Chain A
């Protein structure tokens, strides 16, 4: 059974593949709220990816998830370079980029930058919880 690797396409990544055949392969998900590219990989290659990262797993949809962000960045970089969505992209990353990915992933496991968003509205709501301690 095939497995899948999804890469989220934000504005910056979209710009990087603009005008290439990859642009047509971008899928909309959640009603257009997000865009992604999907690589289909054979089972054993999927397992090889999972084996590289402690948190990585196949989810119920058959997608390889919870890989480090550094791995997704490397995958996208190779997709843009090779202009294809094939298992060869994943093989290339595993063969040539893995050490760097693992090095970056180790840093990622310790700290991730907190998003700069205003959360004062939820702090206000939490001042008056409906449920109180006994």
Chain B
């Protein structure tokens, strides 16, 4: 008889969790001695607005979210990712992870392969990059190849990417010089509130699941304050499991520079937390977490990085809805579900990502849609409810529009407690959504503070 019980958490992607964080200050000092130059991280700007900060990628690499990736990709690795969505080791990985600097900074630093670069964040030593290779990229080319084109990827790409797409702008705005090599964090950042209580890097997440006795866990990807449709999705998707529904529902928010008009990350993580604090899902079954990543809005491509992150955290299932991590109409709205049900050959997947070499243990739960149906008197699943003309479909954009017009969303859309979390951060920032002011201020504040650490004498010059 085949075993139907799921008794263990899935292994990390690539077999082993990356942990490149030095917690011993003496060791950190020794490593700094080997560095030959210092570089202060600068945010990636598009039309003067921050769209990315490489510190978030360094955090996600070093704490194991992106295992088995250990640093900024070499040229061969970058080509492999863009061509096949695979690392050179054969493991699936969707996005270029790059440490980019300007030609001017590169000349000033005077570093090359074999050198170690000390990376500073908020004026303090943060991480080391062991430079293995230096090469040039054409940012626009990387951007196009990252997201695909209607000609090359006709299965799911509907129109060419352009400057209305935040993820495309991120890659277009990269500096042309790439320093490739492994990252090591040598001065562990302290997460700022409210993010500190949601910080569950893969190792801690796995420990937490084991403490709670969870072996079946389902992930909910979010970049939104949860409406009642999201809540219905979480609760119903979690009926998958083995001989009973999933033990745990893990919300993993993507925290980073996002598009103007999205909710601030503070409201997103606390909004999800309010779902359990206000008793809509028991806290014993619900865990709110986040990953530092400047969202690329790459729909099927983004779903692959989600699978990497969540499998590394020990999660067994992943819910994928319509328009997953999407922006605009560049991709088919079901592109992610197409990928996870039959594959997208032009992106290197003749089969779904769990059925290819170097693929995932995590299993998809492709969900169509929940809507509010007054006749069913429930948040109905689209494959069940046929009350056309009666039900109301959810739309995050519609809800943001309501808030923008000063209309309080009714309880059929938002739990009142969740809406009040939005208002709490609205009071704090003077605005309910990301605007230019918020994005600029948060880019200075970031999600972390760094303890003071003295630079070695040779780097003070």
**What residues make up the interface of A, taking CB atoms closer than 8 Å to B?**
6, 8, 10, 29-34, 54-55, 57-61, 63, 65-69, 72, 108-115, 117, 119, 121-123, 125-126, 129-134
Contacts and interface: CB of A to CB of B under 8 A. Distances in A.
A130 B284 CA distance: 9
B53 to A, nearest CB: 22
17 contacts: A6-B398, A30-B372, A33-B410, A58-B328, A58-B329, A60-B393, A61-B398, A66-B261, A68-B404, A112-B431, A114-B423, A115-B426, A117-B420, A122-B274, A129-B197, A130-B276, A131-B287
Contact of B392 (A30, A69, A122, A123): A30
A57 B326 CA distance: 12
Nearest to B259: A55
Interface stretch (B29-37, B128-136, B432-440): B432-440
The secondary structure that dominates the A interface is loop
A33 B392 CA distance: 11
Contact of A109 (B405, B406, B420, B435): B435
Contact of A129 (B277, B412, B435): B277
B277 A130 contact: yes
A68 B405 CA distance: 8
Contact of B273 (A8, A10, A66, A129): A129
Contacts of A111: 430-431
A94 to B, nearest CB: 18
Given A29-B392, A130-B283, A112 B404 contact: yes
Given A8-B407, A122-B274, A110 B435 contact: yes
Given A114-B423, A121-B420, A61 B405 contact: no
Given A59-B397, A114-B427, A126 B410 contact: no
Nearest to A7: B405
Given A65-B395, A114-B426, A122-B420, A134 B400 contact: no
Contacts, number: 132
Interface in B237-276: 259-261, 270, 273-274, 276
Nearest to A128: B277
Interface of B is mostly: mixed
Contacts of B432: 112
Contacts of B413: 30, 33
A57 B260 CA distance: 12
A132 B424 contact: no
Interface in B328-353: 328-329, 333
A115 B405 CA distance: 11
B401 interface: yes
B288 interface: yes
B196 interface: yes
Contacts of B196: 133-134
A134 B198 CA distance: 9
B274 A125 contact: yes
